[in-house]
């Protein structure tokens, strides 16, 4: 991502904060996995969105109209020994020269310097309650200023949630962001295709996961956007199954939900296909029903429509289909009103997608479902999950779990499916899988 993009975001943020006020946000911290080993570091999405700075132990301050500079970065000082053991880090000089901070200070001096910056400011915008240490420090800094009130200095009177402003900005993806999201989507799509081609009975779920992650890594995307779900047979009925340890069997379906992260932007794709390359008749019927629901929901994605309409479209198609196939009994309207579909379709149609796989942004405004606008990205992912021990349905349906998930960009006059490169019609899936089986023989 270009520095100019981060600059543009900071400018937009400064305008929204307004002069006389201040915003601050801290970086993510490292977490120990065990002795001397940390979990892979992932920067806080909000912090990275504004700074592009990928180091822990940092804090950014934004002070619109400040004469000595509006953007101040507190970070680790350059340390040669640290560089030798852990690699490059920006240091105070790098913070200004490479990351365009107007000023930089050692993070160790935060308690000495920050209270001065808070003096005579009215509002402090910050991510309330997300970092208890920061919450605590901020109140201490404010109390420190209050104690000097007889000298005429005033302490901020209002603490405001920064997320409210920032998450609204993050909801609308710029052209630069969409470049990264398209890359995350296309690499993830290609990985799904590879997995589909490799899939055969006798493999373990983790071997399909390995195919997918191998493809991400070979393409330079080192992080998954979330732990991959590779669920054969009835494992697919566990929504967040991540054990990925069972053997794949002919006659079973395989549900794969996996996505890569590209420079902090996620893809989120699910496909479900037969281990053998052939859908059984029962699998075909349920699969086609989920696909019809997905296509009907995607059709609803356009400006001035709400995500709720897409959800309702999926509920209608699935409920009608479940009645037709005999899994639900009764009048469609009554079943929908009483939410009877929820025993087989218990999640919503999708979520915002961006830096976080379940991305930020309000879903309702003033208690009403918000309308879609150009530049928003969301997933559409209906599913059906028939528990293996469900005695109310015919045996042929039991233990089948199906989800089909794509990433959708809202455009000026409709939508674009960012993940359309992975086959999802029954004919296309069977053709791809059977061609690769034939090539193997
Ligand atoms: N992969 C998580 C989700 O689909 O929401
Ligand atoms: Mn999803
Ligand atoms: Mn998913």
Structure confidence by residue, pLDDT tens digits, 400-435: 999 999 999 999 999 999 999 999 999 999 999 999
pLDDT at position 82 is 87
pLDDT of 439 > 90? The answer is: no
Residue in 379, 383, 385, 403 to alter for ligand 1 test, most ligand atoms within 8 A of Cβ: 379
The mean of the pLDDT values for the chain is: 96
Mean pLDDT of 350-356: 98
Q: Mean pLDDT throughout 248-257?
A: 98
* Main-chain phi, psi angles of 138, to 5 degrees: -60, -45
Nearest ligand by distance to the CA of 255: 3
Instruction: Give the whole-number percent of the chain exceeding pLDDT 90.
Output: 94
CATH fold for the domain made of 3-170:
Creatine Amidinohydrolase; Chain A, domain 1 (3.40.350)
Question: Which pLDDT tens digit goes with each residue over 29-73?
Answer: 999 999 999 999 999 999 999 999 999 999 999 999 999 999 999
Strand partners, 303: none
381 catalytic residue (yes or no)? yes
In ligand 1, the atom with minimum distance to the C-alpha of 226 is: 1
pLDDT digits (tens, 9 = 90+) for 159-198: 999 999 999 999 999 999 999 999 999 999 999 999 999 9
Q: How far apart are CA 171 and CA 375, in angstroms?
A: 8
What is the percentage of the chain residues whose pLDDT exceeds 70?
Answer: 100
Total-model pTM: 0.96
Rounded mean pLDDT of 311-327? 98
Options 46, 103, 257, 263, the catalytic residue? 257
pLDDT level of residue 438 (50, 70, 90 thresholds): confident
- Per the rule left: phi > 0, alpha: psi between -120 and 50, beta: everything else, 6 is alpha
Residue ranges of the chain that CATH labels 3.90.230.10: 172-440
Cα–Cα distance list, 187 to 59, 192, 207, 221, 259 (Å): 33, 9, 18, 8, 9
Tokens of 115: 């209270």
Testing ligand 1's pocket by substitution, the residue of 231, 259, 268 carrying the most ligand atoms inside 8 A of its CB is 268
CATH 3.40.50.720 fits 172-440, yes or no: no
The pair of three-digit structure tokens given for residue 206, joined into one six-digit string: 């983790």
Catalytic residue status for 222: no
Ligand number nearest to the C-alpha of 377:
2
For 380-384, what is the mean pLDDT? 98
Known catalytic residue: 257? yes
85-118 pLDDT tens trace? 888 899 999 999 999 999 999 999 999 999 999 9
């Amino acid at each position: 991502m270009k520095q100019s993009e981060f600059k543009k975001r900071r400018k937009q943020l400064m305008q929204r904060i307004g002069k006389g006020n201040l915003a601050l946000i801290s970086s993510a911290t490292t977490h120990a996995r065990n002795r001397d080993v940390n979990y892979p570091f992932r920067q806080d999405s909000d912090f990275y969105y504004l700074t592009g700075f990928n180091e822990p132990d940092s804090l950014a301050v934004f002070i619109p109209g400040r004469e000595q500079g509006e953007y101040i970065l507190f970070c680790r000082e350059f340390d040669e020994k640290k560089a030798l053991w852990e690699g490059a880090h920006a240091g105070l000089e790098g913070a200004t020269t490479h990351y365009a901070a107007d000023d930089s200070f050692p993070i160790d001096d935060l308690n000495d310097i920050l209270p001065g910056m808070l003096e005579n400011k009215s509002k402090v915008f910050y991510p309330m309650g997300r970092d208890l240490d920061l919450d605590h420090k901020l109140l201490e800094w404010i109390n420190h200023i209050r104690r000097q009130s007889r000298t005429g200095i005033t302490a901020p009177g209002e603490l405001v949630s920064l997320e409210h402003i920032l998450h609204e900005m993050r909801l609308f993806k710029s052209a630069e962001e969409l470049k990264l999201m398209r890359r995350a989507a296309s690499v993830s799509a290609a990985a799904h295709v590879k997995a589909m081609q490799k899939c055969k009975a006798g493999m373990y779920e983790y071997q399909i996961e390995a195919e997918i992650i191998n493809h991400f890594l070979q393409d330079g995307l080192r992080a998954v956007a979330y732990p991959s779900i590779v669920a054969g047979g009835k494992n697919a009925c566990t929504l967040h199954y991540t054990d990925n340890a069972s053997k794949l069997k002919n006659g079973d379906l395989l549900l794969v939900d996996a996505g890569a992260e590209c420079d902090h932007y996620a893809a989120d794709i699910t496909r479900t296909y037969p281990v053998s390359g052939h859908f059984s008749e029962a699998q075909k019927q349920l699969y086609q029903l989920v696909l019809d629901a997905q296509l009907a929901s995607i059709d609803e994605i356009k400006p001035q429509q709400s995500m709720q309409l897409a959800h309702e479209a999926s509920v209608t198609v699935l409920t009608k289909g479940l009645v037709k196939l005999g899994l639900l009994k009764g009048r469609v309207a009554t079943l929908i009103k009483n939410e009877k579909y929820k025993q087989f379709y218990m999640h919503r149609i999708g979520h915002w997608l961006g830096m976080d796989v379940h991305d930020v942004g309000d879903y309702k405004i003033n208690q009403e479902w918000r309308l879609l606008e150009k530049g928003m990205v969301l997933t559409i992912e209906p599913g059906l999950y028939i528990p293996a021990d469900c005695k109310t349905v015919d045996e042929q349906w039991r233990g089948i779990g199906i989800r089909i998930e794509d990433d959708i960009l809202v455009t000026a006059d409709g939508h674009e499916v960012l993940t359309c490169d992975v086959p999802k019609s029954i004919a296309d899936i069977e053709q791809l899988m059977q061609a690769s089986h034939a090539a193997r023989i």
